[in-house]
């Protein structure tokens, strides 16, 4: 069974999915961490691989960039492929000094001023909570591994390049970091009553201007990736 955007057969997609934004990152994760990874999608270059992690079937599926792309793929995964839970794994820019480069942030809620929900025929909501049960599993896993996991609200923006450097509005709303996909994921998770959340490595701090380069964004996110894999199989 294929959709307009996914060529995989239904049985080729696992009920547990990790979603990085970058197809190259999806390939890297699958080849490094999964046993016998199989390429199951390459439509429009959005690569997906299914294999086993510690004997459990897991799919690594690239979401692409931004709300529309995540909105399409997470919708079809939940609705057409019966995926039960998705953890977005990616990078984010920090709005606060205390959240530093390479820190891992678990989203407990997400804010956006997008019209995504309204235009998709649902109630327009600015703030959505991520799945508490899934977050609890991730926090317990992090504790067992001795990881210093941060938690907080994130801001999903539709504009990567912006002249607005005043982040006080988002900070006042409780947002600790900004990225571009999680809001769409949570909208679809709520619609289909599925589990979803986001684990984000801080790639740059918008206050101190620290940042990591693009190669590191692809290759040096191992702590977050392993935490997500260990959590998704529980």
Q: How many residues does the chain have?
A: 234
DSSP the chain: ---SS----GGGS-SEEEE-S-HHHHHHHHHHH-EEEEEEE-GGG--EEEEEETTEEEEEE---SHHHHHHHHHHHHHHHS---EEEEEEEEEESSTTS-TT-EEEEEEEE----HHHHTTS---SEEE--HHHHHHHHHHHHHTT--EEEEEEEE-S-SS-S----HHHHHTTEEEEESSHHHHHHHHHHHT-EEEEEEEEEEETTT--B--HHHHHHS-HHHHHHHHHHHT-
Single out the catalytic residue among 12, 103, 108, 204: 204
Q: Are 58 and 229 within 8 A, CB to CB?
A: yes
Q: Are 111 and 153 within 8 A, CB to CB?
A: yes
98 is catalytic: no
CA distances from 169 to 130, 137, 165, 176, 186 (A): 21, 31, 11, 11, 22
Catalytic residues: 204
């Amino acid at each position: 069974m294929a959709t307009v955007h996914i060529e995989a057969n239904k049985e080729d997609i696992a009920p547990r999915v990790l979603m990085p934004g970058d197809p190259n990152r999806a390939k890297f994760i699958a080849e490094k961490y999964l046993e016998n990874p199989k390429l199951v999608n390459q439509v429009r270059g959005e690569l997906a691989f299914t294999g086993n992690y510690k004997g459990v079937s897991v799919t690594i599926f690239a979401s692409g960039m931004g709300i529309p792309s995540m909105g399409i793929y997470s919708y079809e995964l939940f609705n057409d492929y019966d995926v039960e839970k998705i953890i977005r794994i990616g990078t984010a820019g920090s709005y606060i000094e205390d959240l530093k480069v390479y820190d891992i942030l678990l989203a407990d809620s997400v804010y956006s001023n997008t019209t995504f929900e309204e235009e998709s025929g649902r109630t327009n909501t600015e703030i959505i909570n991520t799945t508490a049960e899934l977050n609890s599993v991730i926090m317990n896993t992090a504790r067992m591994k001795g990881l210093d996991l941060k938690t907080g609200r994130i801001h999903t923006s539709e504009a990567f390049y912006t002249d607005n450097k005043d982040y006080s509005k988002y900070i006042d709303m409780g947002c600790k970091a900004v990225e571009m996909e999680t809001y769409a994921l949570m909208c679809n998770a709520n619609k289909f009553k599925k589990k979803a959340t986001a684990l984000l490595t801080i790639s740059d701090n918008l206050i101190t201007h620290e940042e990591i380069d693009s190669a590191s964004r692809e290759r040096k996110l191992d702590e977050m990736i392993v935490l997500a894999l260990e959590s998704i199989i529980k």
